[in-house]
Amino acid sequence: MDDYKLRPASLPTWGQRTALRLLALAGWEVRYKPLPGPHGIAVVYPHTSNWDFFVGLFGKWALGLKFRWVAKDSLFRGPMGPIMRYWGGIPIDRRASVGATRQLAATVLAEKWCWVAITPEGTRSYRPHWKSGFYHLAATAKVPLLLVYMDYRNKVLSVVDTLTVSGDIEKDMAAIAAVYAGCQALYPDQAAPIKLAPPRDPSEPQRRSA
Q: What is the pLDDT of residues 22-66, one digit of tens each?
A: 999 999 999 999 999 999 999 999 999 999 989 999 999 999 999
Report yes or no on 205 lying in a domain. Answer: no
What is the residue-averaged pLDDT of the chain?
89
Is 151 part of a structural domain of the chain?
Answer: yes
Burial of residue 167, with CB atoms counted within 10 A of its CB: 0-12 exposed, 13-18 middle, 19 or more buried: exposed
Q: Poorest-confidence range of 83-92, 93-102, 114-123, 146-155?
A: 93-102
How many CB atoms sit inside 10 A of residue 60's CB?
21
Mean pLDDT of 104-125: 89
Domain housing 181: 26-45+58-186
Please state the pTM of the whole predicted model: 0.85
Does the structure show a pLDDT above 60 at 132?
Answer: yes
- At residue 180's C-alpha, the angle toward residues 23 and 161, to 5°, is 75
Q: What are the CA-CA distances from residue 94 to residues 7, 74, 141, 167, 190 (Å)?
A: 38, 10, 19, 24, 21
pLDDT of residue 207: 52
Residue 202: the pLDDT is 57
**pLDDT of 201 strictly over 70:** no
pLDDT tens digits, 14-32: 999 999 999 999 999 999 9
User: Looking at residue 138, what is its pLDDT?
Assistant: 96
User: What total number of domains does the chain contain?
Assistant: 1
In a domain, 145, yes or no: yes
CA distance 52 to 70: 14
Residue-level pLDDT at 208 = 47
In a domain, 79, yes or no: yes
In this prediction, residue 195 carries a pLDDT of 92
Residue 92, in any domain of the structure: yes
In a domain, 98, yes or no: yes
* Percent of the chain with pLDDT strictly greater than 70: 91
The angle at the Cα of 200, spanning 194 to 206, to the nearest 5 degrees, equals 120
Report how far residue 102's alpha carbon sits from residue 136's, in angstroms, rounded to the nearest whole number: 9
Q: Taking residues 152-172, what's their average pLDDT?
A: 96
Task: Name, in order, each residue with C-beta under 8 angstroms of 43's C-beta and a sequence gap of 6 or more.
Answer: 117, 118, 120, 134, 145, 146, 147, 148, 176
- pLDDT of 205 above 70: no
Q: What's the pLDDT at 126?
A: 87
107 within domain boundaries: yes
The answer to whether residue 17 is domain-embedded is no
